[in-house]
Amino acid sequence: MDIKDKIVVITGAASGIGKALAIRCHTEGAKLVVCSDINGEGSAATAAQIGGISFKTNVAVEGDIVHLIETVEADHGPIDLFFSNAGIGIGGGAEASNEGWQRIWDINVMSHVWAARHLVPRMAARGGGYLINTASAAGLLSQIGSAPYAVTKHAAVGLAEWLAITHGDQGIKVSVLCPQAVRTAMTAGNPDGVASVNGMIEAEEVAECVIGCIAAETFLILPHPVVLDYIRRKTGDYDRWIKGMQKLNRQYAG
């Protein structure tokens, strides 16, 4: 897809990857960039910077996503590209609270479900559109120190795969963004990131990678290309990969 003259909606646009994507889509000539975030002031600041419009949206609430989609399409026209980008991280394993598990599930998984639920029929009726879901390399591999993050990001990847398989013949393109460590608010307390073995990159580098993959309509967007090697090692010898991850876990737990 060529972003020029397209209507683009981005959740989580107040900062980090979402903000970088909004700026880059504007640079690429988007007709309109809609910036959405639970941080309404931050989202408005991003929109003001690029001449876009802003919505305060809690993606953990289906009604908020419905309002975002319906208002944009009623007031400005069909959404061509929807970045379901907002996400959170929490620590812990199975012992994490039910409330914590539910919150991260709603934001990291159900927000993608709700966006697809209310956009796919519209896009299919008009012959196509593009959905991009932000997951993580943790959705392809795992996340040391956080079962909720690893599980929800795996689910996000699985949903994107299913959407691509099921709706591709309707002209709907789907990509899933799976970076390792990116310098954002989520990683602010960890200057190197858990994935420091491969380095932390800037949000602008992620946006650059995303734009190239949109043009090529690539399903799997990997700002850290080495992740593809890790996937191959994982599937090539699962037991060896588990042992390697156990070693990594000991290093960070020690």
Which CATH fold topology does 7-226 show? Rossmann fold (3.40.50)
Domain boundaries, the chain: 7-226
Please report the sign of the dihedral spanned by the C-alpha atoms of residue 32, residue 37, residue 42, residue 44. positive
Candidates 51, 55, 60; CA nearest to 70 is 55
Which pLDDT score, from 0 to 100, does residue 143 have?
Answer: 93
In this structure, what DSSP letter does residue 106 have?
I
Catalytic residue ranges:
149
Which pLDDT score, from 0 to 100, does residue 252 have?
Answer: 80
Question: What is the arrangement of strands in the sheet containing 220-221, beginning at the earlier edge strand?
Answer: 53-56, 32-37, 7-11, 81-84, 129-134, 172-177, 220-221
Candidates 72, 63, 59, 66; CA nearest to 33 is 72
pTM metric for this prediction: 0.93
Which pLDDT score, from 0 to 100, does residue 197 have?
Answer: 56
Which pLDDT score, from 0 to 100, does residue 240 have?
Answer: 97
214 Cβ contact partners less than 8 Å away, ≥ 6 residues apart: 1, 3, 81, 130, 132, 175
Q: Could you tell me whether strands 129-134 and 81-84 are parallel, antiparallel, or unpaired per DSSP bridges? A: parallel
The Cα–Cα gap between 89 and 94 comes to: 15
Per-residue pLDDT of the chain (254 residues; tens, 9 = 90+): 999 999 999 999 999 999 999 999 999 999 999 999 999 999 999 999 999 999 999 999 999 999 999 999 999 999 999 999 999 999 999 999 999 999 999 999 999 999 999 999 999 999 999 999 999 999 999 999 999 999 999 999 999 999 999 999 999 999 999 999 888 666 555 444 444 556 789 999 999 999 999 999 999 999 999 999 999 999 999 999 999 999 999 988 76
